[in-house]
Structure 1
């Protein structure tokens, strides 16, 4: 059975950097983000790792894992919220006692998804793949991004419905800040490999494929054990987003996952929009999706609101989801059961 945390109003948010910290010239962004959370009624505690960054990480693996473990053990903290992702979160996994993970939310994406997926697979505690703290510093959030709070406040036994966004951000424009942080200019269109309406359901698991693929073959990526111990072997519904990989690197990673058994009893796969997916020769990401769909005999949905091309739906690892896509629009209903 999956355990679902609950976001209490007024809880304390613990901000730690298990991957990358924030450079001094960007400290104001963290301060703005923390003030925004305080204006919503939350208390905020920032760890030391948040304020430092060197050699592709916020601090040593030892310091990062000690700070994370301390926040995880702190009964007053109800949400652990990294400022953003990074590169080397995987270094801290062996220092985490996953048997001592508490029933509290961990929220983020990018490199943070390594931690999210590892927690859910090893402990059966749901984790939240969604916005980074930095992205919530604006005066307001778009409708899709703003759902993070409602999703994390869903009670066990209830469900929550999210819709595809109306528009997405094609590129970052840090020189032109907006009140909602993002520049949402391009019409959103969720796509499918097959023609017509697609409906798929299963237990959600996934994250940034660039980094979660490295959990394969480790104690933190045992999908078969998760299926047996926590979801009674229900079908899996995978979601991925690609940060930097070419089409062939994506293909290699997906084949590796298939060979590792990650796609056994898989109901479908969702892919987020990506600025990567660079073609190699005339081999495109659409070719990857077509081949995967044919090999596994499952629906593939792509260009959804997930990942480094915002905004994004808040996906709960471990929840039971029903996804419906048609005519470019999509809905995701997640059941906390």
Structure 2
């Protein structure tokens, strides 16, 4: 189920389903959307705080539901990640989402929300940079900004080494629905009603601030849960700030990856600038994609209609 594309003059909503948003940074991002011909409506959660959350669970949930039900809002941009979306997943009105399919955009902690919505409703969701955590940065680059154009036109996306060097870990070619996102959030979905389904799918993995031993632990859990063997292919995105403290004995991150994915029977490539990085290549999750190590490319079908 693809959401409808945006057109100039549309209104988008920004709300915070996880950690509290920096209101100054959030306001700095608004001109970015206005320059695309869009109007911006800020949700009440962008001004709330409940400890480390952008309001209570009930307040964040209500803000999301109101934006989903508001027919004047054509897309919802999640202000930032951090932590909080797993807390509201079981209370979301998924029938409301089905009845009002619209563009949902974010990443990081939003991975849990994306996974739940995609698997409960079939609605394509978008893995991309967010207003308060990325767009407001001074180094937000032209390529990352250009990825929002896919919301206005149904265009097939193509990632090649023209964007970044790619490393083949397991050769081959595979196609399937693109799923996944933040590794730690995918692992936290295991054993819940929103457990990531990887069977026959291309699995995207990225993360930030996780040392190699932590990535090792999480990949091991995915392996033992059968999620790696079930995948048709694995796309390794950016793993930012992953270096262990100086002097601490450690395996390299590449060594950890090879221990878990080099033994798979499906194609695996690393080096994709997808995740907590600049540039940040944005993708629709839930759409059919093809991974080819011969061409060193990832191609994804359009996410809007």
TM-score, normalized by length of structure 1? 0.79
* CA distance 1:311–1:325, change in 2 (3 Å): farther
1:63 Cα shift? 0.4
Identify if the C-alpha distance between structure 1 residues 150 and 256 changes in structure 2 by more than 3 Å, giving closer, same or farther: same
Q: Which moved more, 1:118-127 or 1:261-270?
A: 261-270
Which consecutive unaligned segments of at least 5 residues does structure 2 have?
A: none
Distance 1:37 1:140 in 2: 17
Alignment size in residue pairs = 296
Q: How much does 1:11 deviate?
A: 2.0
Q: 1:284 maps to what in 2? A: 252
> Which stretch of the first structure deviates more once superposed, 202-211 or 273-282?
273-282
Q: Is the Cα–Cα contact under 8 Å of residues 209 and 240 in structure 1 kept in the other structure?
A: yes
Detail structure 1 runs of 4+ shifted over 4 Å in the superposition: 137-141, 164-167
**Residues 13-51 of structure 1: CA deviation (Å, up to 9, x unaligned):** 11100012224xxx3322221222122111211012112
SS at match of 1:217: coil
**Which residue number corresponds to residue 3 of structure 2?**
5
Q: Kindly tell me: are residues 39 and 282 of structure 1, through their superposed partners in 2, closer, same or farther at Cα, counting changes over 3 Å?
A: closer
Residue 336 of structure 1: how far off its partner (Å)? 4.3
1:84 Cα offset (Å): 1.4
1: CA distance, partners of 2:140 / 2:178: 25
Partner of 1:85: 81
CA RMSD of aligned residues (A): 2.6
The question of 1:335 aligning with 2:282 is answered: no
Q: List alignment gaps of at least 5 residues for structure 1.
A: 168-187, 228-234
Match of 1:215 among 178, 181, 189: 189
Asked whether the equivalents of residues 147 and 162 of structure 1 are also in contact (C-alpha less than 8 Å), the reply is: no
Alpha-carbon contact 2:141-2:278 (below 8 Å) kept = no
Deviates more, 1:55-64 or 1:132-141: 132-141
CA distance in 2, matches of 1:240, 1:50: 28
Distance 1:311 1:165, change over 3 A: farther
**Do the aligned partners of 1:65 and 1:95 also contact (CA within 8 Å) in 2?**
yes
CA contact (8 A) 1:144 1:162 kept: no
1:61 aligns with 2:57: yes
What's 1:303 paired with? 271
Indicate the SS of the match to 1:121.
helix
Q: Deviations over 1:53-86 (max 9, x none)?
A: 4521111111001100111111111111012111
